Amino acid sequence: MTTRPLSPLDEKWTRRLVQAIRCYHDLGVSWLAFPPDRQRGPFHDTWHEWLLTCEREWRAARTPVPPASDDVPDREPPVTSREHAPVGVSVQEVIKPSSPSADEWAADDPGLPATETEWSLPAMSAAEKAAALERLQQLELGECTRCKLSDGRRHIVFGEGNPDAGLMFVGEGPGQEEDRTGRPFVGRAGQLLDDMIRAMSLDRSQVYIANIVKCRPPGNRDPETDEIAACQPFLFRQIEIIQPRVIVCLGRPAACLLFGRKTSLGALRGSIIPYQGARLIATYHPSYLLRVKPPARQKEEKLKAWTDLKLAMNILGLKVPASNRQK
Ligand code: SF4
């Protein structure tokens, strides 16, 4: 994996984006969110659009160039259900004996800000983060009707977990059970995610879990572009508040959104991308891991997901438990 050198244009966009975010916060306006008693005006739309453009440009400029390999397809077949990984895609080997460690990846990356704090808001205590998340949920999200997914939902699934978590998981959207309970990842996929978290020597109370859309798409279809656009500011704000060290994207939609690339999950797995002071990692969605057949292939895919999680553990300084070392 090589990284595109930082060009003067990249640097310009990076500087402008940082300035814009700081300016926004100096104005006391929550980034990409509006108090419920204020109407969005043309000024806000222009400002938001410009910020989003900055961010897209910056992410595109910072996107690593994947190695040329016949194993990594340019495109994957369209995803027609909540199965988040392509069938039949040969996924690149993520960790090879000669691969650099996560620390080396980070050290070699010319795109990392000089200091991590360049991306972050003023440091917040766990209590302040909890209060900020509460405000975001109650005052800014509220009983949101910003997109058509509000029509059929029973509960908004905001996200849950440790507001001061070092590790954050981001999935695609709530399913039936999540819509019923208002909690993320509580069905069978949630149980598998719990197992994955436990395999990392953590438990659910130590991580934060959220989705890119907070309301259930009908029939568990993929969220549409306008729905993601309407809801993504709340995810971005959650990340901004929590300031995790590692974000694990579960499935292609979440990975494409945060990596800023429309490509296959196979092309994103194995990359460690800096993102607002955190590191992004992509892996399979638990619901895909549950559905993949036959059992031998399912085991193979789970091992690949475990390889991805070990990348996160490496960055977090977690030791792989002896019982899981041979997996
Ligand atoms: S999906 Fe997000 S933007 Fe759409 S209604 Fe639900 S909370 Fe609002």
Contact (CB, 8 A) for 287 and 84:
yes
Cα–Cα distance, 180 to 68 (Å, whole number): 45
* CATH code for position 231: 3.40.470.10
Instruction: State the pLDDT at residue 48.
Output: 60
Dist. CA 228 → ligand 1 center (Å): 8
Instruction: State the pLDDT at residue 121.
Output: 55
User: Rg of the chain's alpha carbons, rounded to an integer?
Assistant: 19
Instruction: State the pLDDT at residue 323.
Output: 65
156 lines ligand 1 (CB under 6 A): yes
Asked if the structure places residue 56 within a domain, the reply is no
Cα–Cα distance, 212 to 234 (Å, whole number): 8
Asked if the structure places residue 284 within a domain, the reply is yes
257 lines ligand 1 (CB under 6 A): no
Q: Which two tokens stand for residue 15?
A: 């500087």
Asked if the structure places residue 250 within a domain, the reply is yes
How many C-beta atoms surround the C-beta of residue 250 within 10 A? 30
CA 272 to chain centre: 12
Asked if the structure places residue 106 within a domain, the reply is yes
Cα–Cα distance, 243 to 247 (Å, whole number): 10
The pLDDT of 58-74, averaged and rounded, is: 45
At 259-293, the pLDDT tens digits run 999 999 999 999 999 998 899 999 999 999 999 99
CA 45 to chain centre: 24
Instruction: State the pLDDT at residue 146.
Output: 95
Domains: count for the chain? 1
Closest protein CA for atom 2 of ligand 1: 231
Asked if the structure places residue 16 within a domain, the reply is no
Dihedrals φ, ψ of 31, to 5°?
Answer: -60, 125
170 lines ligand 1 (CB under 6 A): no
At 139-148, the pLDDT tens digits run 999 999 999 9
At 168-201, the pLDDT tens digits run 999 999 999 999 999 999 999 999 999 999 999 9
Partnered with residue 273 across adjacent β-strands are 280
* CB burial of residue 80 (10 Å; 0-12, 13-18, 19+): exposed
**Amino acid letter, residue 98:** S
First to last CA, the chain: 24
Dist. CA 194 → ligand 1 center (Å): 25
Q: Which two tokens stand for residue 309?
A: 């999680």
Asked if the structure places residue 289 within a domain, the reply is yes
Cα–Cα distance, 318 to 178 (Å, whole number): 29
Highest mean pLDDT among 101-115, 118-132, 298-312: 298-312
Dist. CA 46 → ligand 1 center (Å): 21
The pLDDT of 194-220, averaged and rounded, is: 96
The pLDDT of 13-19, averaged and rounded, is: 63
Asked if the structure places residue 1 within a domain, the reply is no
Asked if the structure places residue 111 within a domain, the reply is yes
Q: Judge if pTM exceeds 0.85.
A: no
Q: Which two tokens stand for residue 18?
A: 């940082």
Cα–Cα distance, 76 to 264 (Å, whole number): 5
Instruction: State the pLDDT at residue 321.
Output: 75
The pLDDT of 207-228, averaged and rounded, is: 95
The strand order across the sheet containing 278-283 reads 160-161, 208-211, 167-171, 246-250, 278-283, 273-275
Q: Which domain holds residue 152?
A: 92-324
Cα–Cα distance, 142 to 126 (Å, whole number): 22
Instruction: State the pLDDT at residue 243.
Output: 95
Contacts of residue 114, defined as CB under 8 A and 6 or more positions apart, other chains included, come to none
17 lines ligand 1 (CB under 6 A): no
Cα–Cα distance, 230 to 242 (Å, whole number): 21
